Amino acid sequence: MSHELITFLILIIAIILFFLEILPLPVTAMLVPISLSLTGILEPQDAFSYFGDRWVIVFLGMFIISGAMFKTGFANRIGDLTVKIAGNNGFMLLFLVMLVLGVMSAFLSNTGATAVFVPVVVAVCLRSGINSKKMLMPMAFASSLGGTLTVIGTPPNGIVNSVLNESAKYSELGFFEFSKVGIFIFIIGILYMVFFGYKLLPKESTDEKEAFEDFSQNLRTEKMWFALLIFIFVIISMATGIIDLQVAAMLGAMLTIITGCLTMNEAFNSVNWTTIFLFAGMLSMSQAIEDSGAADLIANQIVNVSVSPYIVLGILFITTALLTNFMSNTATAAIFAPIAINIAESMSVSPYPFMMAIAISASCCFLTPIATPPNTIVLGPAGYRFKDYFIAGWPLQVITFIVAMIIIPIFFPF
């Protein structure tokens, strides 16, 4: 059996196990690098190297910082203020959280913004008596939607510009050019979740909510200003790029311990290890799809049906979105961006609509908890199941596709 087929087989089996939840999610995720190693698709050192991936490090750091925000009472204070503004109105609260986080994600790392907002939203839910399951997934979706508004909002946008920059024929997309498409998707996506999507989310309560309540006992309110300063420092560092994302996140995490906001045990307990193992395990699939030749196989199939640029636009969007739901969106964009340029040149059309489709589809993926970093971050704190994402996310996935197919050719003609 060829390496391409073996890779696809491992991916399909993993998807089935994720949906059925026969095994714990981290176990299924870890079986992926194990299988890729045993079948010779990847070398073991490569398959398990993603525990050092930059986003895994960011997750670790931001979980600890989030723990400090709870333990010092900072998240609770923000929660009280938000509830005061929303007036315990679940509808208004959901809209406010999605709007604020979406705008933040346009200018900050959407991963970082989501991670630091989790304890704030959970605190809001505790204060207002709202089930956190109704809030955290819409929050993650809003973060991804907001990331489409600027070039720095999400990694795929930067990758698209990097690939364009490597070619002497094309100029990079401007800072707000992504918003020509992203603003429509952002507004419509929020309206969908606020008026309809939240109804598809689980209604039952979760043990994670109780865990957050326990974590908030015996607050160290005298350390709140330390937590606040650390939080501001990390956000500014991420926004300006003065310090790299993973360095800023981990430095902030260490400062919470040094300043006494958290003890070492509390820092370890604040990390959601399901998220860490799930993300690190599945990142190996990204490299496997590229190294095995599966990515080339997909590209060749797209070229073979390139009878119309509109059809290719749709195929690129759907293919990128589907793969991104099961591998790193950064890796997916890196794989398909150069493929899109080659296809555009072979058809003698502009590559910009294809590149925009890849940037949008790599960020707007809502079917699984591993589709984007924000999706992964909220998995553990809300106690979601794998299929919860599919149930609430598939209409939004279809909506983003339809909007993109209409808007992209208008602002980026072939």
pLDDT in tens, 327-350: 767 767 877 787 788 788 878 889
pLDDT in tens, 51-78: 887 778 877 887 788 788 878 887 677 7
First to last CA, the chain: 40
Segment among 51-60, 128-137, 345-354, 378-387 with least mean pLDDT: 51-60
* Of 7 and 409, more confident: 409
Angle at the Cα of 260 (from 257 to 266), degrees rounded to 5?
A: 60
The number of domains in the chain is 1
Using CB atoms within 10 Å of the CB of residue 240, give its burial: 0 to 12 exposed, 13 to 18 middle, 19+ buried. Answer: exposed
Q: What is the pLDDT of residue 330?
A: 72
Contact 115, 62 (CB under 8 A): yes
Q: Give me the residue label for tokens 């490569």.
A: 46
Question: From CA 27, how far away is CA 391, in angstroms rounded?
Answer: 23
Q: 212 falls in which pLDDT band (50, 70, 90)?
A: low
Strand, coil or helix: 357 = helix
Segments forming the whole domain that contains residue 166: 3-411
Q: What is the mean pLDDT of the chain?
A: 83
Q: 88 falls in which pLDDT band (50, 70, 90)?
A: low
* Residue among 351, 300, 304 at smallest CA distance from 163: 351
Positive or negative, the CA dihedral 116, 122, 124, 127 is negative
Question: From CA 289, how far away is CA 42, in angstroms rounded?
Answer: 10
Q: For 217, which DSSP code?
A: S
Q: What is the pTM of this model?
A: 0.70
Phi-psi region of 293 (alpha: psi -120 to 50; beta: other; left: phi over 0): left
Positive or negative, the CA dihedral 271, 387, 357, 198 is negative
Q: Give me the residue label for tokens 């503004």.
A: 85
Contact 102, 143 (CB under 8 A): yes
Positive or negative, the CA dihedral 236, 243, 272, 388 is positive
